[in-house]
Amino acid sequence: MGPRGRIATFAAFVILLCCYAPAAQQSATKSAPTIDTLISRGDLESAERAVWSALTNNPNDVRALTLLGRIRGLQQRFPEAETLFRRASEIDPKSSDAQSGLARALALQGKTDAATEAYQQAQTLAPGDLQLRAELAQLYRDSGKPQDALSALDSIPAGRLDEHTTLIRLASLIDLRRTDEAIALARSASARSPKLDVDLAGMFVAARLPDPALALLTSAMAAGKQLDRVHYLKGKALLEKNQSAAALASFQKSLALNPKAIDSVVAVAEIYSLQGNHARSFEMMQRALKIDPQSVPTLRHFTVEAMKSGHTSAAAESALQLISRSQSPEDLYLAGAVLLDAKQEENALHALQSYVAARPDDAQGWLAFGLTNERLSHTGEATKAYDRSLQLNPNLAESEFHLGLLSKLQNDTSATTRHFERALQIDPRKARAFVEAGKLYLQSGQLPHSLELLQRAESLDPNDYETQYNLGLVLSKLGRVEESKQHIARYFQLYEGKSRQAPASAGTAKNPGF
């Protein structure tokens, strides 16, 4: 489905109910108008006391049940709101207030099909309620049915269309790729109500249509309102046209007007990241996180930039926070990868185990899960994970390579050779596989073949100290002493600053690239 732009969500409609007193049938509850007033003021505690007083006298008071449903909706206790509205509609099947409240409660819980049916029934009870039609149109659009959204809006008389319904129509046209109609509608709406320019432009930016967005933003700039937002959207549109320098300047103008404009802060960070300047990007994401420390998207972006800029501890800390705030499989995978990089294997294992449970057909997820288990010496679980990843994607060289390492630990020379050779068939540029295979043939005395593989590894990564060490060993065994000395000297040079103790024997050192 296409981008949502800045259309209000169904949550906004619930807030709207705080100011909306239904003009439905009145019950014998004399306090109902007072309750409506209390709700409109946001005094939900007093409103609830009044409702319960009415329900004590008459538990089947439809009006009181409906009002309590509205209160529960405003408290975001949507399942309870659904129960109350459903009970009210069962008592009085002709109550449009009860039926429309039920539709909203269902929509807010993501029960799209049931909500659609409830809205249709509510429209039958209140055919003149244009608000219901607009809400149904938005429900259709949000659930990926833009054509149904347009059909719902077509039933509203042209003279009764408001700004919100205009935005829903525009979004639906964009979703259907009816770009020319969308642009024509935007021009007409802008002419009637210039204050819509920023919202209209935002929808085109979200749809990656920069030219109509820039035209609307020119008009919005002249109006002189929401300029921080205008400069942000202009920057996004320019970025879509690959004008990164101009985009950066526009984002910086936005921040000059509003230093806490978090969208602009994140946009600047993204530009620095694209330029490979992850240190500057990380600084901007630190700023963004201070502005909105509770934002999951901000935390996610901060975690990525912390990892890319080498701030491992900060990345690990934010990864743990991400796990605590989001159960999105993608966030679990990101957090697991970061924690694995930070050598927090137990935490990484928990995240990745949850990820593969949610995404059992993701080969990369099983590979990461295998890596974590291998780090923890859970050999059996690691083997199962690598095997599963190869079932899903037989061309994962990394899984074959690590199965080779595990076979080597079990002294299964045949399996080790098979897995390393398969890894090299898949990825002829995998230097670590050449090193491990070369060490294997060195141990078995197949010196010419070992030399060939190690030289291939050196051509791919001349600065790997283990490659240099093993080249020194095999050349020494072949009697090429001077060449051997050169590689051993190179080994010590690369190993400078670390312990100068050489591996005890070929093939026993831990895999440095793991």
pLDDT tens-digit map of 305-314: 999 999 999 9
**What gap in Å lies between CA 420 and CA 399, rounded to an integer?**
10
Burial class of residue 447, CB neighbours in 10 A (0-12, 13-18, 19+): middle
Print burial letters for 465-504: b (CB count within 10 Å at least 16), e (below 16).
bbbbbbbbbbbeeeeeeeebeebbebbeebbeeeeeebee
Pick the CATH number of 1-177 from 3.30.70.20, 1.10.150.120, 1.10.3720.10, 1.25.40.10: 1.25.40.10
**What gap in Å lies between CA 248 and CA 243, rounded to an integer?**
9
- The pLDDT mean for the chain works out to 88
Closest CA to 121 of 86, 172, 70: 86
- In this predicted structure, what is the pLDDT of residue 38? 83
**What gap in Å lies between CA 70 and CA 331, rounded to an integer?**
34
- In this predicted structure, what is the pLDDT of residue 128? 87
CATH homologous superfamily of 395-514: Tetratricopeptide repeat domain (1.25.40.10)
- In this predicted structure, what is the pLDDT of residue 31? 44
- In this predicted structure, what is the pLDDT of residue 362? 96
pLDDT tens digits, one per residue of 202-248? 999 999 999 999 999 999 998 888 999 999 999 999 999 999 999 99
CATH 1.25.40.10 domain span(s) along the chain = 1-177, 395-514
- In this predicted structure, what is the pLDDT of residue 242? 94
**What gap in Å lies between CA 71 and CA 51, rounded to an integer?**
10
Asked if 39 contacts 50 with a C-beta cutoff of 8 angstroms, the reply is no
Map residue 217 onto helix, strand or coil: helix
Question: What are the residues whose beta carbons fall under 8 Å from the beta carbon of 15, sequence distance 6 or more?
Answer: 74
Length of the chain: 514
* pLDDT less than 70: residues of the chain: 1-33, 497-514
Q: DSSP per residue over 250-306, as a string? A: HHHHHHHH-TT-HHHHHHHHHHHHHTT-HHHHHHHHHHHHHH-TT-HHHHHHHHHHH
pLDDT tens digits, one per residue of 411-463? 898 999 899 999 989 999 888 888 888 888 888 888 998 899 899 889 989 99
**What gap in Å lies between CA 356 and CA 381, rounded to an integer?**
13
434's tokens: 């050449």
